[in-house]
Amino acid sequence: MTKPPPRFPLALERVAAPRVATAPAARPAPAAPTGHGLDSAGVRARMVARLRADGVRHPAVLAAFGEIPRHLFVDSALVAQAYEDTSLPIGHGQTISKPSVVARMLELLFAGANASERASLGRTLEIGTGCGYQAALLCLLSRNVVSLERLRPLHDKARDLLAPVRRDNLRLVYGDGRLGHAPNAPYDTIVAAAGGEEIPPAWLEQLAIGGRLVAPLQDAVGTGQALIVVDRTEREFIRTLHESVRFVPLKSGVSDPRQT
């Protein structure tokens, strides 16, 4: 049984200034590949160049984006937009996040103590597998990845889409993301692709000392979301607010249409 986290205060620090965006004119022209051109490493290289122009600097993050083919995780009707910096629907009210947002969250994870010490994200818990794209990236950046999805059709879809690029260090779990996954805890890094009004207690319980959590969190007035980083020390959880984002809401329970 997972021990409850110690009862100590949550320190809150607000970041004074977000990253400065690069002028659009400095970005490479977007690619518009078709057919087998999507399989070209050059297409992914142009996406990586845009991410670098937007301020992404971690070499492992950029290398992962250059290796994983995003078009494999996008519905066929939208495949021409696969390498644009945009979120796209993947069915069941969910989306695949913008590459720039995914890269930003992964870079924030790498700034945590456990990740910095190992030059790896270590043991990672992903909340919200979705189509599996971020899970594929995490496999290149982490020692082990546990990815949770509460929607059975998406869990099954991700399993199929990940097959061509899946590695042995990934475990896909169909379950309630709010509960985390205690059997493989503690985790050095936790990343969530859905946001609620608070960080679920289970996520904090399952975060290792020295670990870092990155997730969207609803603001106090309920009109938007911002990225929140939670660092666990031996004495406290330190929360840091970052830029505004837009993710799907975090929900409880599981959903399997086949059982209704």
Q: What is the CATH number of the domain that holds 118?
A: 3.40.50.150
Amino acid at 126: E
Asked whether residue 201 is domain-assigned, the answer is yes
221: containing domain: 10-19+97-259
Q: How many domains does the chain have?
A: 1
* Confidence (pLDDT) at 219: 78
Q: Calculate the dihedral angle through the C-alpha atoms of 66, 68, 70, 72, rounding to the nearest 10 degrees.
A: 150
- Angular region, 253: left φ>0, alpha ψ -120 to 50, beta rest: left
In a domain, 76, yes or no: no
**In terms of Cα–Cα distance, which of 74, 113, 99 is closest to 232?**
113
Q: Is residue 209 part of a domain?
A: yes
Residue 154 one-letter amino acid: L
Mean pLDDT throughout 125-137? 98
Tokens matching residue 83 = 């390498």
Locate 7 and state its tokens.
């009862």
Type of residue found at 50: R
Pairing of strands 225-232, 237-245: antiparallel
Structure tokens at 71: 């078009």
Cis peptide before 186 (omega within 30 of 0): yes
Residue-wise pLDDT for 160-182, tens only, equals 999 999 899 999 999 999 999 99
pLDDT digits (tens, 9 = 90+) for 202-218: 999 999 999 999 999 98
Residue 76 has pLDDT above 60, yes or no: yes
Alpha helix (H) ranges present in the chain?
Answer: 41-53, 59-67, 99-110, 113-118, 133-141, 152-162, 201-205
Tokens of 199: 């960080």
Is the model more confident about 257 or about 141? 141
- Note whether residue 159 is domain-resident: yes
Question: CA-to-CA distance for 123 and 144, rounded, in angstroms?
Answer: 5
- Lowest mean pLDDT of 47-56, 163-172, 215-224, name the range: 215-224
Amino acid, single-letter form, for residue 19: R
Residue 168 or 6, more confident:
168
Q: Is residue 151 part of a domain?
A: yes
Question: In 3D, which of 177, 167, 173, 113 has the Cα closest to residue 142?
Answer: 167
Question: Is 146 within a domain?
Answer: yes
Question: Which of the residues are catalytic?
Answer: 97
Q: Within a domain: residue 31?
A: no
Cβ neighbours around 87 below 10 Å, total:
18
pTM of the predicted structure, to 2 decimals: 0.85
Percent of the chain beyond pLDDT 70? 84
